[in-house]
Chains A and B, each alone.
Chain A
Amino acid sequence: MTEIEYDRVPDVAEGGPGSELATRLRRFWEGRPGLYGWLATVDHKTLGIRYIVTAFAFLALGGIEALIMRIQLAQPNEHVLSPEQYNQLFTMHGITMILWYALPILTGFSVYLQPLLLGCRDMALPRLNAFTYWVFLFSGIFLYASFLIGAAPDAGWFNYVPLASIEHDSGPNIDFYALANIFLGISTTLGGINFIVTILRFRAPGMSINRLPIMSWGTLTISVASVLSIPAVSVAFFLLWMDRHFGTHFFDPATGGQPLLWQHLFWLWGHPWVYIIVLPALSMVSQALPVCCRRPLVGYSLVALATVLTMVLGFGVWLHHMFATGLPTMALAFFSAVSIIIAIPSAVSLFAWLATIWTGRPDFSTSFDFFAGFIIVFVIGGVSGFMTASVPVDWQLTDTYFVVAHIHYVLIGWNLFAVLGALYHWFPKMSGRMLNETLGKISFWFVFVGFNVGFFPMHITGLLGMPRRVYTYSADMGWGTLNLISSIGAFVLAIGLLITLVNVIRSLRVGVLAGPNPWDADTLEWATSSPPPPYNFAVIPTVASRSPLWEARLGEARSSTPERGFALDHGKETLGTTMLDAVPDVIVKMPEDSLAPLLLSLALAALFTTMMVEAWFWLIASVVAILVITMAWLWPRRSLGEIEGSTT
């Protein structure tokens, strides 16, 4: 470019595949081939798929850990595992599933889908998007390095002090968890910021906030919540690391510290986190289920409101994890009441789904099966949570297998069922090929039956008093049969997931070609080809309703124009719009592929490694590297419209 332009009237064009405009855009947006392109890409579609694949890899790791534990627990007094091995396994299982699978999988779907749903060409901060992926990957590798030296974290995923203090756990086990958690928190927080800016500022013209796709409501809500809550757990783990290595006394009662400070900080994050890892999954159901039912979602506004309200209340219930710690009765009563009331917004979503199915025409696709199964487990997970919200009952239920059943109904039920439904729904968009429906249905039945056979009996083992986190139990406790059934169910569930894996691999090669909109769905991601071109949309679509592709048939004003809009073809560009009304506001220059995100995350990995091994010289070297790379990354660029000046 020879001339710096400060403003412009953007061209309006019609864009289709094969048009001259499309060819030009492809030249700007297509990354370089080869290794450099692979490492330097900032394309949200590539990164979204990487997130999904990596998160499923962590699901597999966590799942294998679970199956080993289920063998140990299948019979009383088993000796498959030593207590230490069992404790490391259950801790790593929890950490992996809750931190390295549950949110990253949803982030993957969001990273892939949000720009497409919103009608823009990439995430707001594409390099940051690449950075958060690499940090997620490296933090997971960092965590799993603990297995290599046989010292995986072993104090449970909530890692209570003083059990996790240096006096009671002197090995490196807890340090792996502490540092990996802070490391991952960087990724999650920055990812949240990226989603907030993308959803608030990068919507297609006309997509005012009341036309935001319901899935974007979920992502936006939890991104705000992540940004607000993750510092709590990062602080907690940092203080713990200080206590362990620098002689501070945050959690040590002998010198004025407080063991319960840990629990407060942990659950100030931990409870919002439970909603953070399910709300986007719920909103994916709210997005895709109506398509399966051939109608718009019933009660869009109520569901959006309920999503936000659940999250807000989710910040006010952390103490219900601490009912047994000897709190004053007034606090118990208050937090118990809020914890019961929080079921109300969840009920809104439930009724909205039921009404959508009732008044719709279910298409009985595999996605629909998973969503219908999801609704059943959603209700079971919901009511078991409602039971634990009642303090006197919770005093009995807490820390038993009832709670284990509850969290698995929430985490597998609310998260994994929704994710599998979403996978069958959006896989054609991502790959261009359909998944096989027969294999899908077989997979569904294995997963649904296996899951319920595996986890429903745990409610009863809990009512019969089995405490969680025991590596074995004696035969006279009466838990043997139920545990055996649970173990069998867990393996059936694993087979069901393997069938979907086979389906995915098979479909990538021989699946039926999908075309742009195989489900005849209503939102913008289906207005472009499958898989979408690197620039997503040849023109920035304009939107006049929540269902831009269904307007004609719904008898609404036909004013959305998915194929006609701003061309924005003076380089790598997309449109920024205003926060509430989505009025065009700015033409944004988007960055090229860059190695800086990868290098910076490697430098961060080096920093955390030096903290782990306490190599202070190398720690300083890592910090210097981080500063240099950050400076290079952020150096103002003419191509991004960051520098004043007339010509280059």
Chain B
Amino acid sequence: MWSAIGADWGRQPRILRSSQALGALLLQFYAAPASAKAPLSFLSGAGPRNVSTLTWGVLIISVLVVIITTAILLFATFARRERPPSSTSKERQLVSRAGNPVSVIYAGLILSTVVLFGVTIWTMMTLADIAAPPSKPSITVEVTGHQWWWEVRYLSDDPSQIFTTANEIHIPVGEPVAIKLRSADVIHSFWVPALSGKTDTIPGQTNTTWILADRAGTYRGQCTEYCGLQHAHMGFELVAMPKEKFESWRKDQLRSASEKSLASPGQRAFMQKCAVCHTVRGTRAGGRVGPDLTHLMTRSTIAAGTLPNRIGYLSGWIADPQHVKPGSKMPRLDINGQDLAQVRSYLETLN
């Protein structure tokens, strides 16, 4: 459907001259259920920082400008059509400089200046609106970009309230959340299209941004600054939930790993194979290279939004991460079937 419009557009610009077609085009945009069909679309948002009003505004102005100029061009070209002269005819008639319509340029200049100044002011107003959150955020999340995953750390003045997770950010609905952005290696860019524009994570500096979700739901996020081999697979999820559910989620995340799994064969295998890189709080596993796995099973994706967190995918990922995500920092461990099953059953306890 999209495609039809895009293609026809190129072939036959006049199609856009009818306002009906324009209406259809706009409807298509609105009708596209952004969250379901295209999880990274930002044409419909769920918070003030999504700036979809301004986006739509400049988009409509742009479409109108294209339609109007195309119409003028086609009229100018065909309304005064001359027979195509043969290439041998010399000294064809000229239009003299008399009646030089420079005034057209001035008129166009004034019109476009007015529109552009208007948009500049609108831009400034929007910028001022979203520069600072409506109220002081009570929650601060520090997000650190790694090649190719996201470390998520909930900050607090009280050290016992600090915890770390990965690739999944939970926030309460309806209140602004401050995001501090850092990088562990190269420049990445933090983006949750439905909620906010992009902010880069840059080594040696901490950027801050804020987000506010109006509606509960799961929003897709993605790294958008090219960061190497697996830039394509550096997604995350942002889950906006009612305040009380968020609080209970937070309490769960603060827990260390459950005691009952300690000293299982699975845990032994995990300590041997995985603990160098991964942390499981409450155990000796304290690696800082890869994501914190303390509550792995509460997350809905693995490998930074690459695969759903289901047991089959998880096994595949552990058995051969380089197949799923070539170049990933998670090495192929050449793990045997028995160890794999044990590690997997241990991971299943991390909820």
Whether chain A touches chain B in the assembled complex (some CB pair under 8 Å): yes
Q: Which residues of A contact B (CB under 8 A)?
A: 82-84, 87, 155-156, 160, 162-163, 168, 253-254, 258-260, 293-296, 298-299, 302, 324-326, 329, 332-333, 336-337, 340-341, 343-344, 347-348, 350-352, 354-355, 357-365, 372, 375-376, 379-380, 383-384, 386-387, 390-396, 398-400, 434, 437, 448-449, 451-453, 456-457, 460, 463-474, 476-479, 481-482, 485, 489, 512, 517-518, 520, 550, 553-556
Q: Given known contacts A354-B69, A355-B105, is B85 in contact with A363 (CB within 8 Å)? A: yes
Q: Note all chain A residues with C-beta closer than 8 A to B104.
A: 298, 351, 354-355, 358
Top 5 nearest A-B pairs (CB, nearest first) are A395-B197, A452-B10, A253-B204, A465-B40, A478-B38
Q: Is B262 part of the binding interface, using a Cβ–Cβ cutoff of 8 Å?
A: no
Instruction: Give 1 or 0 for each of B2-28: 1 = CB within 8 Å of chain A CB.
Output: 110011011101000000000000000
The reply to whether B58 and A390 form a contact with Cβ atoms under 8 Å apart is: yes
The reply to whether A83 and B200 form a contact with Cβ atoms under 8 Å apart is: no
* Closest A residue to B227 using CB positions: A163
Q: Which of B262-283 contact A (CB under 8 A)?
A: none
The reply to whether B223 and A294 form a contact with Cβ atoms under 8 Å apart is: no
A-B contact pairs, 12 of them (CB 8 A): A162-B186, A298-B101, A347-B112, A351-B107, A360-B80, A361-B82, A363-B84, A363-B92, A390-B126, A395-B197, A456-B9, A485-B6
Q: Given known contacts A375-B73, A379-B70, A465-B42, is B51 in contact with A393 (CB within 8 Å)? A: yes
Instruction: Give 1 or 0 for each of B81-107: 1 = CB within 8 Å of chain A CB.
Output: 110110100111111111111101101
The reply to whether B200 and A324 form a contact with Cβ atoms under 8 Å apart is: yes
Task: Give the shortest distance, in Å, between B100 (CB) and chain A (any CB).
Answer: 6
Give CA–CA (A393, B55) in the complex, Å: 6
The reply to whether A465 and B3 form a contact with Cβ atoms under 8 Å apart is: no
Query: Which of the residues B95, B198, B230 comes within 8 Å of A399, measured between beta carbons?
Result: B198
Task: Give the shortest distance, in Å, between A376 (CB) and chain B (any CB).
Answer: 6
The reply to whether B205 and A481 form a contact with Cβ atoms under 8 Å apart is: no
Q: Is B350 part of the binding interface, using a Cβ–Cβ cutoff of 8 Å?
A: no
Task: Give the shortest distance, in Å, between A161 (CB) and chain B (any CB).
Answer: 8
Q: Is B39 part of the binding interface, using a Cβ–Cβ cutoff of 8 Å?
A: yes
Q: Given known contacts A168-B228, A295-B96, A460-B2, is B109 in contact with A324 (CB within 8 Å)? A: no
Q: Given known contacts A465-B193, A469-B226, is B127 in contact with A391 (CB within 8 Å)? A: yes
* Closest A residue to B36 using CB positions: A478
Q: Given known contacts A294-B94, A336-B127, is B189 in contact with A399 (CB within 8 Å)? A: yes
Q: Note all chain A residues with C-beta closer than 8 A to B66.
A: 376, 379-380, 383
Give CA–CA (A340, B116) in the complex, Å: 6
Q: Note all chain B residues with C-beta closer than 8 A to A449.
A: 10-11
Q: Which of B214-245 contact A (CB under 8 A)?
A: 220, 222-232
Give CA–CA (A253, B232) in the complex, Å: 26
Q: Given known contacts A351-B109, A383-B62, is B130 in contact with A341 (CB within 8 Å)? A: no
The reply to whether A453 and B7 form a contact with Cβ atoms under 8 Å apart is: yes
Please tell me which stretch of B117-125, B159-167, B285-293, B310-318 contacts chain A, meaning at least 4 of its Cβ atoms lie within 8 angstroms of it.
Answer: B117-125
Q: Note all chain B residues with C-beta closer than 8 A to A340.
A: 116, 119-120, 123
Q: Which of B29-60 contact A (CB under 8 A)?
A: 29, 32, 34, 37-43, 50-51, 54-55, 58-59
Task: Give the shortest distance, in Å, between A255 (CB) and chain B (any CB).
Answer: 10
Q: Given known contacts A302-B102, A372-B73, A452-B9, is B108 in contact with A363 (CB within 8 Å)? A: no
Q: How many B residues face the partner with a CB closer than 8 A?
A: 107
Instruction: Give 1 or 0 for each of B178-210: 1 = CB within 8 Å of chain A CB.
Output: 000100011101010100111110111101100
Task: Give the shortest distance, in Å, between A369 (CB) and chain B (any CB).
Answer: 10
Q: Is B326 part of the binding interface, using a Cβ–Cβ cutoff of 8 Å?
A: yes
B interface SS class: mixed
The reply to whether A470 and B232 form a contact with Cβ atoms under 8 Å apart is: yes
The reply to whether B226 and A163 form a contact with Cβ atoms under 8 Å apart is: yes
Q: Is B335 part of the binding interface, using a Cβ–Cβ cutoff of 8 Å?
A: no
The reply to whether A357 and B73 form a contact with Cβ atoms under 8 Å apart is: yes
The reply to whether A83 and B69 form a contact with Cβ atoms under 8 Å apart is: no
Task: Give the shortest distance, in Å, between A546 (CB) and chain B (any CB).
Answer: 10
Give CA–CA (A467, B232) in the complex, Å: 8
The reply to whether B123 and A391 form a contact with Cβ atoms under 8 Å apart is: yes
Task: Give the shortest distance, in Å, between A262 (CB) and chain B (any CB).
Answer: 10
The reply to whether A392 and B73 form a contact with Cβ atoms under 8 Å apart is: no
Q: Note all chain B residues with C-beta closer than 8 A to A360.
A: 80, 95
Task: Give the shortest distance, in Å, between A450 (CB) and chain B (any CB).
Answer: 8
16 more A-B contacts (CB under 8 A) besides A355-B105, A392-B123?
Answer: A83-B230, A160-B225, A163-B226, A293-B95, A295-B97, A324-B198, A355-B104, A364-B84, A386-B62, A392-B127, A453-B10, A453-B11, A464-B40, A468-B226, A489-B7, A555-B96
The reply to whether B96 and A554 form a contact with Cβ atoms under 8 Å apart is: yes
Give CA–CA (A156, B226) in the complex, Å: 8
Give CA–CA (A512, B87) in the complex, Å: 9
Q: Note all chain B residues with C-beta closer than 8 A to A332.
A: 127
Give CA–CA (A213, B59) in the complex, Å: 37
Q: Which of A87, A399, A468, A517 has the most CB of B within 10 A?
A: A399
Task: Give the shortest distance, in Å, between B277 (CB) and chain A (any CB).
Answer: 19
Task: Give the shortest distance, in Å, between B78 (CB) and chain A (any CB).
Answer: 9
Give CA–CA (A478, B43) in the complex, Å: 14
Q: Note all chain B residues with C-beta closer than 8 A to A260.
A: 202, 205
* Closest A residue to B104 using CB positions: A355
Q: Note all chain B residues with C-beta closer than 8 A to A452.
A: 6-7, 9-11
Q: Note all chain A residues with C-beta closer than 8 A to B92.
A: 294, 363, 520
* Closest A residue to B108 using CB positions: A351
Query: Which of the residues A336, A354, A364 comes within 8 Å of B120, measured between beta carbons?
Result: A336
Q: Is B113 part of the binding interface, using a Cβ–Cβ cutoff of 8 Å?
A: yes
Q: Note all chain B residues with C-beta closer than 8 A to A163.
A: 186-187, 226-228
Task: Give the shortest distance, in Å, between A310 (CB) and chain B (any CB).
Answer: 14
Q: Note all chain A residues with C-beta closer than 8 A to B63.
A: 383
The reply to whether A325 and B202 form a contact with Cβ atoms under 8 Å apart is: yes
Q: Is B77 part of the binding interface, using a Cβ–Cβ cutoff of 8 Å?
A: yes
Give CA–CA (A215, B230) in the complex, Å: 45
The reply to whether A390 and B95 form a contact with Cβ atoms under 8 Å apart is: no
